[in-house]
Amino acid sequence: MADLTINLAGIKAPNPFWLASAPPTNTGYQVQRAFEAGWGGAVWKTLGEPIINTSSRFAAVHFNGQRVAGFNNIELITDRPLEVNLKEIYETKKRFPNHAVVASLMVEPKREKWHEIVKRVEDVGVDGLELNFGCPHGMAERGMGAASGQQPDLVEKQTMWAKEAAKTPVIVKLTPNITDITVTARHAVMGGADAISMINTINSLAGVDIHSWNTIPHVGGKGAHGGYCGPAVKPIALNMVAECARHPEIGVPISGIGGISTWQDAVEFMLMGASGVQICTAAMHHGFRIVEEMIDGLNNYLDEKGIESVMELVGKSVQRYSNWGDLDLNYKVVARINTDTCINCNKCHIACEDTSHQCIDMLTGASGNYLEVREEDCVGCNLCSIVCPVDGAIEMVEIASDLNPMSWNDRQRTLARLNAGQTEMEVV
């Protein structure tokens, strides 16, 4: 049994699986049920005022018979008074002193408002604060949420205000609805953030009903963009976590959020630099008990790898995440088709023929039709192995290169050096 405890900027939890600030963490009843089920921490549904909500609120994107590939919401922050939430936070923390309880906060961008809310939540014993600069709808119209999260100076200033009053670690939750998340992340750090969390939801419209022509969801026949999350956003979130993790001027712990629905997803986020993860959609789809499968899977994975503590995973793949200009242009892989396991659906052939480099031949031999890659024409794009429905039928194999590794940046530097030499020679 590996050690699953984590420490995120000083906030300790029995395991890396926290519930994100969202509908599952709306009440003490829910958070306590979650802790009973095994969740290691919870970021309370964002406290703030006023209480306004819409009906309906959620929509999901189903993909080829699998439900909830993506999830969209237009719900707002807490729908209960601050006093009630504070009382329940206090009770929850008292019952579960070793679990992480983090208060998500959102107030008007005013110094005294931040001071006041920070003091009030810390008084009831939270382990940390998460500043919600990400909510993409409803609050932004009032200068809060994403409206402040999209302005680096506002992120910095408000983080500073929260930090002035805070005694517990401050996590700044970032919006992905921005060109370069490392900019706002850096400003959060400049404001004194102890950690950053990402991503909040992505602006989205889940769909349009092709019969009624209403948006999905709609509120009395009208729709507005919501926030997108769930498995579909994972690659976007993972990139943002990784970009922040490898940025030399950020350097604070990261709480990874975005489409995490299995223990494997959590491992990926941690390898890419997250010290823990926050989850919402998977819990909304399956209930709190889903964490049992995550804990069991993570534990068995760590045992299998001989890793004693989950924290040893944090950041292990960050150094492998780089810029395109640093990739070795002389590295080569080609596809190889295993005709024994191939089931002859020919999807690889048509994908390559129509949309890639026309290098998979359909041939006929003594025992019938088979597929073969012309390796000299294969560019190693992976497409065939992606569309292949059978595990192991298409393998991407490394081809030894006669050439030394050379990246685009190496190439440009070499050219620059050569050109410089030529100039000198000309001068001479």
Partner 1 sequence: MEQRIPLRSLAPELLARNFAEAEPGLTPKAAVEESNRCLYCYDAPCIKACPTGINIPSFIKRIATSNLKGAATAIMDANPVGASCSRVCPTEILCEGACVLNDASEPIMIGKLQRYATDWAIQNGRPLFKAGTPNGRKVAIVGGGPAGLSAARELARDGFAVTIYEAKPLAGGLDTHGIVSFRLPQSVSLWEVEQVEKLGVTIRTGVKVGTDVPVSDLMDNFDAVVLAAGMGYVPPLGIEGEFLDGVYDAIQLVEGTKSDELPILALSGARVAVIGAGNTAIDAATCSVRLGAENVKIVYRRTKDEMTAYDFEYEFAKQEGVEFSWLTAPSRIIGDENGKVMHLECVRMQLTEPGADGRRTPVPIEGSEFLMPVDAIVTAIGQKRRTGLIEMFGLAHNRGVVQIDTATHVTSNPKVYAAGDIVFGAGQGEAMVVSAAEQGKRCAHAIREHFASAADDESGPEQVAI
Catalytic center residues? 135
In terms of CB distance, is 64 or 367 closer to partner 1? 64
In terms of CB distance, is 252 or 270 closer to partner 1? 270
Query: What are the beta bridge partners of residue 336?
Result: 395
How many residues form the binding site for partner 1 (CB under 8 A)?
Answer: 18
Interface stretch with partner 1, choices 192-200, 376-384, 389-397, 410-418 (CB under 8 A): 389-397
Nearest in space to 269 (alpha carbons), one of 249, 289, 298? 298
Nearest in space to 102 (alpha carbons), one of 45, 48, 43, 159? 43
Distance of CA 132 to the CA centre of its chain: 16
Nearest in space to 260 (alpha carbons), one of 239, 287, 234? 234
- Residues 232-271: x where in contact with partner 1 by CB under 8 A, - otherwise, as a string: ------------------------------xxx-------
Judge if the upstream peptide bond of residue 253 is cis by omega within 30 degrees of 0: no
- Sole binder of partner 1 in the list 90, 301, 321, 370 (CB under 8 A): 301
User: For the chain, how many residues are written?
Assistant: 428
Interface stretch with partner 1, choices 102-110, 234-242, 250-258, 383-391 (CB under 8 A): 383-391
- The nearest distance, CB 392 to partner 1, in angstroms, is 9
Q: Is 44 in the site for partner 1 (CB under 8 A)?
A: no
User: In the range 100-119, which residues lie near partner 1 by CB under 8 A?
Assistant: none
Q: Is 36 in the site for partner 1 (CB under 8 A)?
A: no
349: its two tokens: 């052939």
Contact at 8 Å (CB) between 214 and 188? Answer: no
- Sole binder of partner 1 in the list 50, 55, 64, 66 (CB under 8 A): 66
- The nearest distance, CB 308 to partner 1, in angstroms, is 18
- The nearest distance, CB 37 to partner 1, in angstroms, is 12
Nearest in space to 202 (alpha carbons), one of 230, 172, 239? 230
Contact at 8 Å (CB) between 283 and 34? Answer: yes
In terms of CB distance, is 81 or 392 closer to partner 1? 392
- The nearest distance, CB 267 to partner 1, in angstroms, is 11
Q: Look up residue 412 and give its amino acid.
A: Q
Containing 70, the helix (H) or strand (E) segment is strand 66-73
233: its two tokens: 């956003």
Q: Is 391 in the site for partner 1 (CB under 8 A)?
A: yes
Contact at 8 Å (CB) between 401 and 350? Answer: no
Q: Is 286 in the site for partner 1 (CB under 8 A)?
A: yes
Distance of CA 347 to the CA centre of its chain: 31
Q: Is 386 in the site for partner 1 (CB under 8 A)?
A: no
- Sole binder of partner 1 in the list 208, 362, 390, 397 (CB under 8 A): 390
Query: What are the beta bridge partners of residue 254?
Result: 196, 274
Q: Strand 128-132 relative to strand 207-208: parallel, antiparallel, unpaired?
A: unpaired
Q: Is 290 in the site for partner 1 (CB under 8 A)?
A: yes
Residues within the interface to partner 1 (CB under 8 A) = 66, 262-264, 286-287, 289-290, 292-293, 296-297, 300-301, 304, 389-391
